[in-house]
Chains A and B, each alone.
Chain A
């Protein structure tokens, strides 16, 4: 079964600094990969997804992620964060449709003014 590891439970970063949130998954079979964001007291919303094709995926709010098959990673990056990016970020993976998404435990990003 798939598993997802988000290596950092909390990431504090100063405003306008770059950030990387790390995600590794367990299986090397073909996968779909997702990043979701959860703002306080809200549901999860999709930030970006990798289904196939280019390994660099661009999402909303200036975020991007790179799929690295050899390292089974899908790290999320943003070159310059804003206060409004403060939220919890979840990485999720599925084995191309056979089973539902498996979510990581989340990384809480805190942007400091």
Chain B
């Protein structure tokens, strides 16, 4: 298996622009998680899906952030408009739900976002 695939790997944009991060989970996994990692705040869970349904988005910092999972093999995290404080590494992870949501997660390589 190719593992969790994220694109792009690096994104540099200017403040105010829309940014879309993409994730393809491991085939057969039914839970998907979006995280943000910064030096100051560490690893933060933004939102997670189970069977394509958003379960908890309480970690999404504000309305500028939105996430979708239109099918089992694709998810997007969108920031509109982007701000310099959104600069971070964004990770997508997926898991197989036989152990419920608390099972082992498989992480993608991350997208490094820089907002100028």
Of chain A, the residue at the smallest CB distance from B55 is A100
In the assembled complex, A99 has its CB within 8 A of some CB on chain B: yes
Cβ-Cβ contact count across A and B, 8 Å cutoff: 60
Question: SS class of chain A's interface: helix, strand, loop or mixed?
Answer: loop
5 extra interface residue pairs, beta carbon distance < 8 Å, beyond A43-B110, A105-B42: A44-B105, A96-B99, A97-B102, A100-B101, A100-B105
Q: Which of B4, B100, B108, B110 contacts A97 (CB 8 A)?
A: B100
Closest residue on chain B to residue A9 by CB atoms: B42
In the complex the two chains form, is B107's CB within 8 Å of A94's CB?
Answer: no
Give a binary string over A34-67; 1 marks a CB under 8 Å from any B CB, 0 the rest.
1010000011111001010000000000000000
Which B residues are in CB contact (< 8 Å) with A45? 107
Instruction: Tell me the smallest distance from the CB of B61 to a CB of chain A, in Å.
Output: 17
| 11 pairs of residues in contact across A and B, judged by CB atoms under 8 Å | A32-B102, A36-B107, A43-B107, A43-B110, A44-B93, A51-B99, A94-B100, A97-B103, A103-B43, A106-B42, A106-B43
